[in-house]
Amino acid sequence: MVNTHVQIGELTLKNPVIAASGTFGFGREMQQWNNLSQIGGISSKGLTLNPRLGNDPTRVAETASGMLNSVGLQNPGLQAFIEHELPFMLGLGTTVIANIAGHSLEENVQMAMQLDQTAVHAIELNLSCPNVNKGCMAFGSSAHLIQEVVRAVRQSTTKPLWVKLTPNVTAISEMALAAESAGADAVCLINTLLGMAIDRRSRRPVLRNNTGGLSGPAVKPVALRMVWDVAKSVSIPVIGMGGIMTGEDALEFMIAGATAVQVGTANLVKPTACQDIINEMIMIATAEKITSFSQYTGTLKTW
C-alpha cells in the first residue's frame, strides 16, 4: 500500500493530484465522471469580488498538442461562490481551494478576508491570469508587486495561502522567492503561456480577445523546467502543473521538485483524467516499491 498523502504546509492532501483552476468548474459537472472524494483537491474557477462575464467568444483555439483560452475569469463573484458553490464543494470530501484573481491589491485583500470567514481549506492567489487587462499577470510579472500583494493578503487571512505564478517572466524563481518572503505557504506554477492563433483566411486572431493562454502537453517542457528551477530556490512546497496528462507526467513534476501537482487541460479532453492519473501513479509507485508518494519529490539527479 502506497501512502498517497502529501503535506502542503499545515494542510494534508489525501493525494497530490489537484484539479486545476478553470478546468473543473466548481466540481459539479465532474461528479458524473469522478468520485471526487478520491482526488487530492479542487481549485475553484478564478474568482473576483463582483461577478464577471469574461471575454466575448471565440474563447478557445486548438494548437499543436495544446490549446489557447481567453475565458477572462468569467465567474459568479465571491459572494455567490461562498453562498452557492462553496458549501457544495466542501461536501465533496476533498480539499477545496479558492482561486482568487482580484484586479487590485485591495480586491484581493477583501476577498481573502471574506474567505477567511469560511471553511475553505486554502486560498490560491492567482497573480498570473493572462486574459484580463488589469491585475493578475501584471502583478505576477514583478517581484516587487508580488511581494506587496502577497504580504497584504497574508495579513488578511490565516488560511493556507498559495500563490500562482505566471511563466511569462524572465526569472520565475525570483517571483517565487518574492512570494515566499511575503509569507506564501506554497507556490503554484505554471499558469498559461501568453500566445496567439491566427486564422489565415480572415487575417483575424482566432480568439476574440486577440491573445490567450497556452496550456496542455505543448507547455510541459517549459513547466517542468520552471518547477525544477523554483523548487531549487524556495523552501516552501511547490505545486507543479502544465500539460500533465498521465501519471507518468505527474511523477516527472514531483521528481523535478513538486510536492503536489495540478491537472488542468487534461480534464477537458478526458473527464476522468484526475482519477486515472492517481491510479496510474499508485500503480507505478507500487511497481517501484515506493511506500509514499512524497518520496518522489525533488529526487531528480541532474547531470
Partner 1 sequence: MTQIEFNCPVVNQHRLNDQFVILTLKSAAICDTAQPGQFVNLSCQEFLRRPFGIMAIDRATNEFQVGIQIKGKGTKQLAGLKIGDIVSILGPLGHGFDMTGARRIITVGGGTGVFPLYFVHQTAKELGIERIAICGYRSVEDAILRDEFKAIANRTVFASDTGGLDVIGHAGHALQIALEQLASNTIGSQPTLDQSTFILTCGPKIMMQKVAEMALANGLSCQVSLEEHMGCGIGICLVCVCKIKNHETAEINHQRCCVEGPVFAAEDVVW
Q: Which of 18, 59, 249, 253 touches partner 1 (CB under 8 A)?
A: 59
For the chain, where are the alpha helices, taking DSSP H only? 78-80, 86-90, 105-116, 137-140, 143-156, 172-181, 220-233, 247-256, 266-269, 273-287
Q: Which does 196 bind (CB under 5 to 8 A by kind): a second copy, partner 1, ligand FMN, none?
A: a second copy
Q: Which of 10, 64, 158, 201 touches partner 1 (CB under 8 A)?
A: 64
AA letter at 283: M
Sequential DSSP letters for 227-267: HHHHHHH-SS-EEE-SS--SHHHHHHHHHHT-SEEEE-THH
Residue 67: strand, helix, or coil: strand
Antiparallel, parallel or unpaired: β 66-69 and 60-63: antiparallel
Binding mask 261-300 for ligand FMN (x = CB under 6 A): --xxxx----------------------------------
Binding mask 122-161 for ligand FMN (x = CB under 6 A): ----x--x--------------------------------
17 contacts ligand FMN (rule: CB under 6 A) = no
79 contacts partner 1 (rule: CB under 8 A) = no
Question: Considering only residues 21-50, where is the footprint of ligand FMN by CB under 6 A?
Answer: 21-23, 45-46
User: How many C-beta neighbours within 10 Å does residue 178 have?
Assistant: 26
Binding mask 212-251 for a second copy (x = CB under 8 A): x-x-xxxxxxx-xx--x--------------x----x--x
216 contacts ligand FMN (rule: CB under 6 A) = yes
Beta carbon nearer to ligand FMN, 3 or 205: 205
27: nearest Cα among 93, 74, 78, 108: 93
17 contacts partner 1 (rule: CB under 8 A) = no
Kindly report the CA angle at 25 between 214 and 127, in degrees rounded to 5?
Answer: 50
> How far is it, in rounded angstroms, from Cα 228 to Cα 172?
11
Q: Judge whether 136 counts as a catalytic residue.
A: no
Binding mask 69-108 for a second copy (x = CB under 8 A): ----------------------------------------
268 contacts partner 1 (rule: CB under 8 A) = yes
Task: For the CB of residue 236, give the shortest distance to partner 1 in the complex, in Å.
Answer: 29
Q: Which of 53, 200, 235, 289 touches a second copy (CB under 8 A)?
A: 200
4 contacts ligand FMN (rule: CB under 6 A) = no
Q: How far is CA 124 from the centre of its chain?
A: 8
Rg from Cα positions in the chain: 18
Exposure on the CB side of residue 126, measured as CA atoms within 13 A: 27
* Set 129, 136, 188, 274: catalytic member: 129
Q: Which does 302 bind (CB under 5 to 8 A by kind): ligand FMN, partner 1, a second copy, none?
A: a second copy
217: nearest Cα among 191, 193, 243: 243
> How far is it, in rounded angstroms, from Cα 201 to Cα 143?
41
Site of interaction with a second copy (CB under 8 A): 61, 63-66, 68, 141, 168-171, 193-198, 200, 202-205, 208-212, 214, 216-222, 224-225, 228, 243, 248, 251-252, 255-256, 284, 299-303
